[in-house]
Amino acid sequence: MKIISVALLSLLFHSFHSPASSPHNNQLHSSNDTDINHLLDGKTDEWPVQKFETDASTQIRYAIDNDLQNLYLALIIPDSHTQTRIMRQGMELYIDPKGKKKEGKGIEFPVKQKYTSDNSMTNFKERRNDENNGQENNEQRRSNMKAIRAAMALNLISMKVFGFSNGEPDEQGLQMAGSANIAFSWDSADVMHIEYRIPFSLFGNTSSLHEKDISIGLKLNRIEIRANSSSTEAPGGGRREGGFGGGGGGRRNFGSSGSGGQGNRSSLQDFENVMKDQSFWTKYMIK
């Protein structure tokens, strides 16, 4: 488990493909006349394709629906690096009944993992490079990502619900009567699916929500690198010495080369994207 965790950041930044950030999505979504037989199993097969929208900055696809008792949300996360990021750093779903994009109420899932004092990332990376003669083909990379995913998925056993009562955030299991419930899975193409079922009873007076616009937001937490880390790997495969506490000079040197090609600029942008929180919002009308 220790070896898997220390390899995470290097795998996360290697060949990371994420479009540049875009303005928040303010499109209004409302439930259509098609009734969905919701089955909380972590699979999104029952959701009509036309209900899904895609956030350009994260490539996460999402769909929202409701019945008289519950609010439903489905997420489809195709990028393996984004999957690893949220399993490691956590992800927060926000629900603002007043439609003002407030982050006071929501659910954290996956719950952010706690860092250990281990500082052997560099040693492991160098050892892995020696074993592979400095090369890692696509099949090896995919196998490594699956190994990390399998290990990290063992920790996806709880969520934190916050903002709905005074004694929060409360950490609870993924299945709990009278509270939010979550299921997740991966399909044969390694795409991650997450389903939420959130009872309206959590919001108090449910009658006030009928035909009302609510705001729903999603935040992917930024990648954090410990201050005692001596180096980290650039998205393009190079190394940046001195960690992130060395001042602006080291940061200017990161990712630079004589070629000045588009690939380096893209890698730098990818790196900067994961080093900051990424969030997006949408509106939904309760039917």
Check if the beta carbon of residue 235 is closer than 8 Å to that of residue 13: yes
Output the pLDDT for position 100: 96
Is residue 110 one of the residues assigned to a domain?
yes
Distance of CA 86 to the CA centre of its chain: 3
Quote the tokens at residue 127: 């050892």
Q: Which of 267, 78, 256, 73 is nearest to 182 (CA)?
A: 73
Q: Which of 282, 236, 278, 280 is nearest to 261 (CA)?
A: 236
In terms of residue numbers, what domain contains 275?
2-244+260-285
Is residue 168 one of the residues assigned to a domain?
yes
pLDDT band with cut points at 50, 70 and 90 for residue 169: confident
pLDDT tens readout for residues 228-240: 554 444 443 444 4
Total domains in the chain come to 1
pLDDT tens readout for residues 113-124: 876 544 334 444
pLDDT tens readout for residues 191-242: 999 999 999 999 987 788 888 999 999 999 998 776 555 444 444 344 444 3
Is residue 142 one of the residues assigned to a domain?
yes
Is residue 250 one of the residues assigned to a domain?
no
Is residue 249 one of the residues assigned to a domain?
no
Q: Which of 176, 202, 7, 11 is nearest to 93 (CA)?
A: 202
Is residue 252 one of the residues assigned to a domain?
no
The answer, yes or no, to whether residue 75 has pLDDT greater than 60, is yes
Q: Which residue has the tokens 């009562």?
A: 165
Is residue 215 one of the residues assigned to a domain?
yes
- For the full predicted model, state whether its pTM sits above 0.75: no
Q: Which residue has the tokens 């079922």?
A: 197
Is residue 155 one of the residues assigned to a domain?
yes
